[in-house]
Amino acid sequence: MYIHQRLDEVDSTNTYAKTHFREFPDGSVISARRQTAGRGRLGRKWLSGNDLDITASFLFRKLPQPFYAGVITGVAAIEMLQEELPELSPYLKWPNDIYIGYEKLSGMLSEAVWEKGQMQCVICGIGLNVNTSSEALAGAGQPAVSLFSLTQKQFDVDFLIERLAKIVNRYYIICQQYPQEVFELWRKYNRLAGHEIEVVDPAGKVMRGIFRDIAPGGEMIFVHEGRELLFSCGDVKIIAQSVKF
């Protein structure tokens, strides 16, 4: 059975989980009311409000492939949102962001823990803007929303994390027997697949093409100038605003 450790303050729940993973059973979650050095993908910072948002890290020891940490967490987060706010229409923006329209609600950061050449576990951290105000979101450096900015309602963050942990663990169990089922849900919630999009590589080069599909290994299959390219998650970033729904 997983456990949920709620910390008042920590530098980063991912860093904490990577250091303390031995103390927790599989599927456990470490969350924090306040992160002082939250980390995002590609070396970016992740800013979140003081006791306002979800900042939590899940620990997985038995995944079919490491990228399933993000698959399970992403599918679970979408379903938690559908359950609590059926009027919203969240989708996954490959690899692991959650968007509402053209604005970011949530991001995920997966990190593997290695020892003596052996992978011990994968940590998937999720930041989801819950009660942060529109004014504070304006400093996020990209168009961002929170559940509060979308609905003008306050949400119980502790309750949402508990729900998320339950759904994550349900999908984690399913994944161990039927990984394809969870993968197919992840593909379905990745609403940009099939669309014309723009991607930008870490050097800033922009390419326009078609997001054809997601490969079985989680990569994006991208068709650019008649050529099929396979991108892994660190390779490119999709420019959400380039998509016409």
Residues that bind ligand BTN (CB under 6 A): 12-14, 35, 38-41, 44, 46, 55-57, 97, 107-109, 125-127
Q: How far is the CB of 107 from ligand BTN (least distance, A)?
A: 2
Q: Which two tokens stand for residue 70?
A: 């993000």
Q: How far is the CB of 61 from ligand BTN (least distance, A)?
A: 18
Nearest to ligand BTN of 144, 214 (CB atom): 144
Nearest to ligand BTN of 113, 174 (CB atom): 113
The residue at minimum Cβ distance from ligand BTN is 107
For 119, residues 6+ apart whose C-beta sits below 8 A from its C-beta are 66, 112, 113
Instruction: Give CA–CA dist 110/59, Å, rounded.
Output: 10
CB of 73 within 8 A of CB of 175?
Answer: no
Tell me the C-alpha to C-alpha distance, in Å, between residue 205 and each of 41, 192, 202, 222, 237. 18, 20, 7, 15, 10
Q: How far is the CB of 24 from ligand BTN (least distance, A)?
A: 15
Q: How far is the CB of 228 from ligand BTN (least distance, A)?
A: 27
**H or E segment to which residue 19 belongs:** helix 13-20
Q: How far is the CB of 46 from ligand BTN (least distance, A)?
A: 4
Q: How far is the CB of 205 from ligand BTN (least distance, A)?
A: 20
Cα-Cα end-to-end distance for the chain: 41
Instruction: Give CA–CA dist 126/40, Å, rounded.
Output: 9
Nearest to ligand BTN of 49, 107 (CB atom): 107
Nearest to ligand BTN of 40, 64 (CB atom): 40
Q: How far is the CB of 9 from ligand BTN (least distance, A)?
A: 13
Nearest to ligand BTN of 40, 209 (CB atom): 40
What is the β-pairing status of strands 4-10 and 29-35?
parallel
**H or E segment to which residue 186 belongs:** helix 179-189
Nearest to ligand BTN of 14, 132 (CB atom): 14
Residue 25 buriedness (CB in 10 A; 0-12 / 13-18 / 19+) = exposed
Nearest to ligand BTN of 99, 148 (CB atom): 99
Q: Which two tokens stand for residue 78?
A: 């979408």
